[in-house]
Amino acid sequence: MAFSFVHTADIHLDSPLKSLALRDPDLAEMVAGASRRTLTRIIDLCLAEQVQALLIAGDLYDGAQTSMKTAGFLARQLERLDAAGIETFIIRGNHDAASRITRELLLPGSVHVFTGRAGVEEREWNGQPVAIHGISFARPHAPDSLLDKFGAARADAFNIGMLHTSLGGSPGHDPYAPCTLAELQATGFDYWALGHIHKRAVHEGQTTVVMPGIPQGRDMGESGEKSVTLVRVDGDEVTVEARALAVARFDRLEVGCDGLTDWADMVQALKAALRAIDPGEVQRIVRPVLTGVTPLTWRAARDRDLLLAEAQSEAEGGDGLWIDKLSLELRAEGEAAPAGPVGELMEMISDSPLPPEDARVRAEYEALRKHLPAELRGIFGADEAETAATLTREMEAGARDLLARLDGEG
């Protein structure tokens, strides 16, 4: 009666990485190719574990940018499962609905893609009746709940629901097919295979609800370990296991600089932190973040490019290590402002900072936010207070960096 399946979502196959490409085209190319290699590893996991099915809960593609080469790669991978007798169940998310070729791709017969009307596929896995319920996005936007479109749980079967949803909302994610955890649990389904939010979340109980998160991060906003979910069912027992399959990982690397007074010591602290990283089999993309109280704050802002060059030089000596960029979160206690006009400007800004509620600040913020992709709109904060704090912090950092560069140029 025991059976198993793999649940993933938000693969964003061949996602274009414009922001990374502006900084480092080689890094952008490596990360873009990582989504293909991660999908290959997902297929490998299904084969190695001899699961009954692979469930993909939306955003397999990345919108209108999808090419036939991307689709062809996907088809070849799913054919590997087909040859092993493993089924694939797919729902379309908001990015898939925007893809021009989503409906034109010919997939193996073992692949079932749910339509914009809720459906159910009934199977028997190792003697256990199973009902897989799912619904796809018909359009890129789904502002209303889709739960009422699902049918009732099948009696005497293990019921799996597949839904692409923002749940109750999440920073950086527009509301899509919103619903609550309680509403999902009230359906009486045994397992909900969700997608859309790129951060992993597991809610166990009579109804197991899993948001697997993105299996392969694409930028620093998707940092940390990423995974897919291997689910084993044996009678009434449901076991959920995270499997890390990403080939590249983003991480912030904090470099403590408290009390450092010598430039060489700051450089050495940066290099030592990078040397301590063991990439292993995963490509590591790190963003060194210098923190702490030091009289070198002004010089670090002025000579950030030199610190970045030191970090990049150190990374080149370590296989599988990349530098995303370098950030400064340093503070100076009693640091004297530079002499001359730059110092006078610094004092003026410190004495009369521009408040985040200023109409000019809000106008610039709204203009920037409007042009950000939906998944990045939450980077300023989850609410008004966080957004105001972020704007204040970034304005202060921007002013400090600009003045430091002016001072550096004499």
Q: What is the pLDDT of residues 53-76, one digit of tens each?
A: 999 999 888 766 557 788 889 999
Residue 173 has pLDDT above 60, yes or no: no
90 SS3 class: strand
- Top-confidence range, 34-38, 59-63, 102-106, 207-211: 207-211
Output the pLDDT for position 78: 97
Residue 113 has pLDDT above 90, yes or no: yes
Higher pLDDT, 305 or 18: 305
- Residue 163: count of CB within 10 angstroms of its CB: 29
Q: Worst-scoring range by mean pLDDT, 38-42, 77-81, 235-239, 354-358?
A: 354-358
How far from chain centre, in Å, is Cα 248?
A: 12
Alpha-carbon span 171 to 378, nearest angstrom: 4
Alpha-carbon span 282 to 300, nearest angstrom: 30
The beta-strand segments (E) located in 126-247 are 128-134, 158-164, 191-195, 201-203, 208-211, 228-234, 237-243
What is the enclosing helix (H) or strand (E) of 406? helix 384-408
Output the pLDDT for position 386: 74
Which residue ranges make up each domain of the chain?
Answer: 3-243, 248-408
The beta-strand segments (E) located in 327-388 are 327-331
Token readout for 86 is: 């493993």
Token readout for 154 is: 């099948």
Q: What does DSSP say about strands 87-91 and 248-256: parallel, antiparallel, or unpaired?
A: unpaired
Burial of 139 (0-12, 13-18, 19+ CB in 10 A): exposed
Alpha-carbon span 51 to 127, nearest angstrom: 14
Alpha-carbon span 15 to 22, nearest angstrom: 15
Alpha-carbon span 201 to 271, nearest angstrom: 35
Do residues 21 and 28 lie in contact, with contact meaning Cβ atoms separated by under 8 Å? yes
Domain 3-243 adopts which CATH fold? Purple Acid Phosphatase; chain A, domain 2 (3.60.21)
Q: Tell me which amino acid residue 227 is.
A: S
Per-residue CA distances from 126 to 52, 255, 281 (Å): 9, 52, 35
Please report which confidence band the pLDDT of residue 279 belongs to, taking 50, 70 and 90 as the band edges. Answer: confident
Token readout for 328 is: 């400064």
| Averaged pLDDT of the chain | 85
pTM: 0.80
254 SS3 class: strand
Per the listing, tokens 């106008």 go with 363
Positive/negative CA dihedral, 265, 271, 274, 278? negative
Q: Worst-scoring range by mean pLDDT, 92-106, 140-154, 220-234, 321-335?
A: 92-106
Please report which confidence band the pLDDT of residue 409 belongs to, taking 50, 70 and 90 as the band edges. Answer: very low
The beta-strand segments (E) located in 127-227 are 128-134, 158-164, 191-195, 201-203, 208-211
DSSP classification of residue 224:
S
Per-residue CA distances from 11 to 62, 92, 251 (Å): 8, 12, 19
Alpha-carbon span 38 to 227, nearest angstrom: 10
Express each pLDDT in 216-271 by its tens digit: 998 888 999 999 999 999 999 999 999 999 999 999 999 999 999 999 999 999 99
53 SS3 class: strand
Output the pLDDT for position 93: 85
Output the pLDDT for position 383: 67
Q: b/e map of 304-343 (b: 16 or more CB within 10 Å)? A: beebeebbeebbeeeebbbbbebbbebebeeeebbeeebe
